[in-house]
Each structure stands twice: as structure tokens, then as C-alpha cells.
Structure 1
């Protein structure tokens, strides 16, 4: 018998709550707080770059623990999948988020689309540590955290989705208008701000929530760093400026923790979702597929496809729209592209365990093959043009990219823990980002057992 997704999700939440050792009454009086700050795209190597002004971040590293060389992220090394890994402790193949939205297969000949206008229940197949914390009676909040739209597990939320203000908690939206941080309730006016302006609003919204609500678990996600690295590249003058601004935002959040009187009870977990590398060139696999008659283009747009590629920065997700022909079509795709300039590899489903993906028959969002670009090349989704390889300007990709396989060291993300319950002046060996959710659970006294890693006990002052 096949259960509906929503029913299955609810059953898992109930089971996890039953395992929890805290009663609702006990949790409501809990004194520990965890604030997770994610600076999108702050590669681990930037923390050690002397040209990057990061006084607050480096002070936290000295006062607490830093993962030496950075934290290994999950494949694909993009924003929504890795933010979901941070709060589930599972790789994307388990939690279900493989892109910045739901990958929708439309049938034979119909190109796959990414739909980012989706609720958490559509995107995430498993309960998050936030779901368990809220069910146990802890106060929770998020600002600009992906894959949280219409979640019932936040007392306050300002989610990272299109039309975010439409899904922001009404009382928080009203308070931000009263404070002059928002002009009105419309998303159109909010999005008129620059990405730096958006980070300012998100930072001040987080500071407001910390001061006024004192959430036990607070999630904050900042974006300007990522946007700047895409446009100008990491370790550029603009990139260094963005890094410095992110550090100032972290300082503001720490000030808010002090103002709330909870500094001695708060653990700060400072992370990124992925690293960055330069990609001055791009490969356009859909151009070769068009020339081979495997997809059709009208007025410069993809209209039909037997096989096509959705770009994810340094990789491309290859979809074969006819399930009966998928295995053969994927094998033919590999023969077509292996050995081409800019192509490092093509993974077929028999190698998907290397990236933590299930077989596409087990989960229909999974691609039928994965195109892996060489470092220095981004994958473009463009269906126009005459050559496979071109400049990033012509392909309309970015000078800086992520999305490469997580085994590339430049994809490693910053990871620093400091504050209540954390040891001082410790450098930790490399870890996967699946450690963050169980570490949060451990700090808050929650049971959250079904994860891919154990809590980061070596960072904590006491451990069993």
C-alpha cells in the first residue's frame, strides 16, 4: 500500500517526537540557545586569506572551534540542497532536495523544469531538526532559510523563496514595517533593494527576533557574499568587500545576542553552504544535443527534448524524458561527451553512490546521468550558439561558480562553533556538513537519531 507523502511525513515527525527525551513543558523552559548563521558561498580558504578582513569571524574561531581546511559539503554543492543537509543531517539523496526547487518531470518529450515556488513539505522528504525542536516546545525562528515555506515549525519565519514576504509570519512582517526595515507588505517593493540591502534587512530582522523572542533555535542565511562571488569571482576586490560586509553582519547578530542577555547560554554555529572557484569558460552541452536532433528550440527557447541538461554550476543534471529509453540514452550521452574539452566525467546511475544519489527509478527527481565539468568551466543550460565551449560572458554563466563535485577542495565551506558548551582554541579535522543537525540536537538536548553523521562531540566541552 502506498502512503501519501504528507501522511508519511507526519508519521515520521510523530515518531521522532515520541523519541524525544524533553517534555513540552521542560523544553519551553530550556535555557540553551543555538544561532546558526550561514554566509552563502564563504569558502573555507577565505578564512585563512590574509587579504580578507574577517575580525569577528576569526575571533569566533579563536574563542571556539574551527574545522581545519573547511567542512566538506554535499553533492550537488548548491544552496538549497546544502542548507537542507545542514538542518537534516542527511545528504540530498536522502532528504530529497537536489536543486533550488523541485525538479519536475513532465513526460516524454517535455523538458524538466525547476519549480522553486514550493512548500517545505513538497521539497523535503524528512523531518528537520527544527521540526523536532518545535514539536518539543522550543521557540524557533528563521530568516531567509531555504526550503521552509509554509513550515509549521517556526514561531517566526521570513523564508528564502520567491515572493518571500507573502510567506513571512504576519506579526514579523508588521514589526519590520514599523521599524522601517520594510516599506510595505509587498514583495515587489522589498526586491527593489540591492542584494546588500537585502542582507541588511535580513540581518536586522534576525537581530530583532533574537532581542524580542530569544528563540532557542535561530537560522539565518545571508546572500550578498554568494552574489558577489558569482559576478566578480572569489578573491577579487569586490569579493573581499562582500566578505567584510558579511563579517559586519555577524557582528550585528552577536551584539543582538548580547542585548538579549543570552550570550552565556548561546552557541553560535557559523557555516557556509559551499565554496567557490573561478569559471572563465563554459560548456554548452545542450548545443551539441540540439545539433544531434535530441532537443528542439523555438525562438531561442527549449520546447521539446529527448535528452537535455539542467546546469548546476560545475555539474549538469542530464534528463532523458522517455523512461523506456533512459538507460540507452544516458549511455549514448556519455559516449558523446567524454573526452570533450571542459568535460571531466559523466556519471551514470551505477556510479551515483559516489555522490549520494539514489537510482532515478527510486526517486524521479534524480537525473539519468551527471555531467561533470573540469575546474575552470561552468555548465551552461543555453540551447543557442554554435560551439560546445565558449566564454562565460557568451554563455551567460558566472565568472565564479560552485556546484562542482564536493570532493573538489575549493567547494569546502567555512565551519566555526563558538560560545556555550564549545571548547576554546580547537582546530577540528575535516568533517561532512551532515554533522551540523545532530550537533544542534545534542546542544538542545533533543533526540534526532536518523542522520548520516554523529554530533561533533570533539567540539563540545563535555561529551558522553
Structure 2
């Protein structure tokens, strides 16, 4: 299969929305990218529309039920900080970076989700210390490219302030620029989370979110300049994309409180879950309901308990699977506008989001995870450079179409996928 580009740079701006396009058109570096690009302002995300399933979809072209990353975090009832789907082994089947590596291409990934222990040449995986006895640096080193990460931390570690933004993305940017200049990888995956963090903390249209978008414009400009300085700009393809949008919310729905009150979830002295018959596993705007042994009496009771106006839809396991979500759930629920789900089994069923709650990181002001069918909830895809037609504005595409298209640019094949190659964007 003919290869259309020598260097593919995929930049994920987490939580980039179709609604941001009007602003992006006014920003100098996005303007420059758009001038010689093709794009789609209406990219339908997946269900549930949370970061880890979305990023696994981008590199596989598959729905969550088929690549196996069905949520951000694992089902660990009652755990305050559940483990995430950090590891490459959690993805079923091949990925874009696996296929590139197999063809002898050099690969790099900076904080790209679900890449811990992946066979990537220059890998700085998104993983954090989730045990009291763990320390962040060794956790990162052992799960990625040790020497590469040590080098990046030696050069740029002073920029970081833990996981706080915008410092984390500023660190990732400097590492990305250095990697382009020194390594010139054939495939580079970069994940920026500044915008997502600010929208969670301050709301979708807040001044802080707007400021994050402007910082992203500067980051995009630095990456384009680095490609020029490295002498590979005209051999490269730049893909700027989002994974999902976000919606403002002001109230929290906690189904596990209902389950606790009706004896379907038991809590011990240390506020630990000791047993459960039904459990709500949050995806923020949506949630999975798991029922032990798929007990039909419990299922009927749970449906009755959840039949409330705050919950927009209750899907069966079969319906959830048809949407591409976890086929092993018992039910899947969708929050009404202004609401989102939380796994807590403490307090009341419906809780107000206060400024104090947000400041303490107990709750958020905006989130995602909602159905792709929600209004004003699409994301973006912009492609420019080698192998890309210019001036094509696609009416709509799906997140599952991106993986096969990225693979085609590198002359690769992801095998059986749920999406399609966007041939109308490509010069072949």
C-alpha cells in the first residue's frame, strides 16, 4: 500500500468542540493550519465519550466494545481512586503505533492514553502513581521509554507542577518540540489536556477555557515551527483533532446512594463497600449499571429506582452494545442536560454543585461521557500536509473513521475496523 507521508503528527486537544471552530479561525496558528487543510467541524464521538475510550478508538478505528477500553477507569466498587486503563495490553487487537513499528517506522507518544508498556520508541505514557507507596517518576519510567523520559525530565522537568495545567501541557510541548528536532519520528502522538482541565474546573465557555484554547494555538505554532526547523515540514502531515466535547452541569446524580438505601450495596465501618448486588460505574454524562449474576429481580428493581427525570434514558445491555459501549453491563444510563453521574454512595441522591465542591475537586462544572446524539456535542478534525487535499470541508464524519484514515496516510492497514478511510480527504 502506497505511503502518503513520511511524518504523521497527531495532536489531540482533549475536549476540543465543534463550537470552538469559530474562535480557532481567528487564532494565527490555527488559521495557518486551516489555510492549507481539509477539515470536518462535526465529528461524532463514541459512547461513552470519555478520554481513554476515545483515544483508543482514534488509534484502532474501533468502537469501545471492540477495542476493550470501555471507560476511563476499571470497575473497582467503592475505591476512591480506581485504576485507569493505562496499559497497551488492555487494547484488543492492533493499533496505529503497532503497525507503524512493525513496518520499521520510528514512533513517539507523549501522554497518549492507554500506551503504558507499549512498543513505542519514544514513549512518555499517561499514567500516574495510584498507590501510597508509589512515586510518579519511577511509575512513569518503568511503563515507558526510560532513557527518553529521563532525558526529557532533565531538560524540561522544571516546567511541570505535578499534574496542574497549563504547566503539564507546557512540559509536553517542550518534549514534543525536542523530539521532533532530535528524533524526527515517522509517527508522533501528542495529547494535550489543558482545555479539558479548565472546562471541568470552570465551565465550557469560561474565560479560563478560552485562554486554554489560545495557549493551544501557541502550542500548535511551536510544533509547526519545530517541523520547519527539523527540515521535515514538507514531508509531514499534521492532524489536529478533538476526542469529545463537554456540557455544563450543575447537579450530581449518585445512583449508588439509591442502591445503598435499598440494600443493593453494603458499606462497612471504614466506609468501604463490603458487598454489592448493583453498582453504578460512572462515565460522567453516562454510567454503566452492573448487576451481579444479571439477577432479573434486581434488574427490575433497579430500573424502577432509576426511572426519574434526572435520567434521560435507560438502555438495556443489548442497546448499550449496539451503541458500541460495554456489552457486559446490565444497563446503561444517560444523564439529562445539567446533570452528571458520580460513583459516590455517600450523602444524598441528587447533589448541587457548589464552588466549594469544585475548588476541592469533589465535583466539576462541566463534563463529557454523554451520548454522541446530544445537541452541540461534536468535536473537530483538521488535516494538513502530505497526502491531504486542501479546501475539503466534510459535512460529518465519525471518530471511528480517523484511525483507518491515519493508517492509510502511513500506508498501513488496521485490519477489521468499525470506521472507514476518509478517501475524500486524501491525495492517492
Taking structure 2 as the reference length, the TM-score comes to 0.90
| Deviation digits for residues 280-335 of structure 1 (CA, Å, limit 9, x no counterpart) | 11212111111111112344443321111121111111111x2152x442332112
Task: Give 1:71's aligned residue.
Answer: 43
| Deviation digits for residues 264-289 of structure 1 (CA, Å, limit 9, x no counterpart) | 11111111111011001121211111
Q: Is residue 391 of structure 1 aligned with residue 391 of structure 2? A: no
Provide the C-alpha distance between the structure 1 equivalents of 2:94 and 2:161, rounded to a whole number of angstroms.
Answer: 30
One of 49, 65, 70 as aligned partner of 1:93: 65
Task: Give 2:54's aligned residue.
Answer: 82
Cα distance 1:251–1:444, how it changes in 2: closer, same or farther (>3 A)? same
One of 177, 187, 191 as aligned partner of 1:207: 177
Provide the C-alpha distance between the structure 2 equivalents of 1:113 and 1:332, rounded to a whole number of angstroms.
Answer: 28
Task: Give 1:236's aligned residue.
Answer: 206
| Deviation digits for residues 347-401 of structure 1 (CA, Å, limit 9, x no counterpart) | 11131244213632xxxxxx21112100110112121113x22212369321111
Task: Give 1:404's aligned residue.
Answer: 370
CA contact (8 A) 2:86 2:115 kept: no
CA contact (8 A) 1:100 1:114 kept: no
Aligned residues: 412
> Residue 325 of structure 2: SS of its match in structure 1?
coil
Matches within 5 A, 1:89-128: 89-103=61-75, 114-116=82-84, 118-121=86-89, 123-128=90-95
One of 151, 155, 159 as aligned partner of 1:175: 151
Matches within 5 A, 1:59-458: 59-68=32-41, 70-103=42-75, 114-116=82-84, 118-121=86-89, 123-152=90-119, 154-162=120-128, 163=136, 165-166=140-141, 167-179=143-155, 181-183=156-158, 192=162, 194-298=164-268, 299-320=270-291, 322-323=292-293, 325=295, 327-338=296-307, 340-357=308-325, 359-360=327-328, 367-386=329-348, 388-393=349-354, 396-458=362-424
Provide the C-alpha distance between the structure 2 equivalents of 1:300 and 1:410, rounded to a whole number of angstroms.
Answer: 39
RMSD: 2.4
Provide the C-alpha distance between the structure 2 equivalents of 1:303 and 1:251, rounded to a whole number of angstroms.
Answer: 52
CA contact (8 A) 2:282 2:343 kept: yes
CA contact (8 A) 1:158 1:168 kept: yes
Provide the C-alpha distance between the structure 1 equivalents of 2:216 and 2:280, rounded to a whole number of angstroms.
Answer: 34
Unaligned stretches of 5+ in structure 1? 1-20, 184-188, 361-366
Cα distance 1:399–1:358, how it changes in 2: closer, same or farther (>3 A)? closer
Cα distance 1:380–1:132, how it changes in 2: closer, same or farther (>3 A)? same
Task: Give 1:364's aligned residue.
Answer: none
CA contact (8 A) 1:111 1:304 kept: no
Provide the C-alpha distance between the structure 2 equivalents of 1:450 and 1:218, rounded to a whole number of angstroms.
Answer: 23
Q: Is residue 40 of structure 1 aligned with residue 14 of structure 2? A: yes
Provide the C-alpha distance between the structure 2 equivalents of 1:100 and 1:358, rounded to a whole number of angstroms.
Answer: 12
Task: Give 2:131's aligned residue.
Answer: none
Provide the C-alpha distance between the structure 2 equivalents of 1:157 and 1:342, rounded to a whole number of angstroms.
Answer: 42
CA contact (8 A) 1:111 1:308 kept: no
Provide the C-alpha distance between the structure 2 equivalents of 1:324 and 1:314, rounded to a whole number of angstroms.
Answer: 23
CA contact (8 A) 1:378 1:397 kept: no
Provide the C-alpha distance between the structure 1 equivalents of 2:13 and 2:397, rounded to a whole number of angstroms.
Answer: 18
CA contact (8 A) 1:301 1:383 kept: no
CA contact (8 A) 1:88 1:127 kept: yes
Taking structure 1 as the reference length, the TM-score comes to 0.83
Task: Give 1:18's aligned residue.
Answer: none
Unaligned stretches of 5+ in structure 2? 129-135
CA contact (8 A) 2:115 2:126 kept: yes
| Deviation digits for residues 159-189 of structure 1 (CA, Å, limit 9, x no counterpart) | 111146323312212322442x025xxxxx9
Compare 217-226 and 302-311 and name the one that shifted more: 302-311
CA contact (8 A) 2:162 2:168 kept: no
Provide the C-alpha distance between the structure 1 equivalents of 2:405 and 2:260, rounded to a whole number of angstroms.
Answer: 47
Provide the C-alpha distance between the structure 1 equivalents of 2:327 and 2:236, rounded to a whole number of angstroms.
Answer: 41
CA contact (8 A) 1:315 1:371 kept: yes
CA contact (8 A) 2:43 2:396 kept: yes
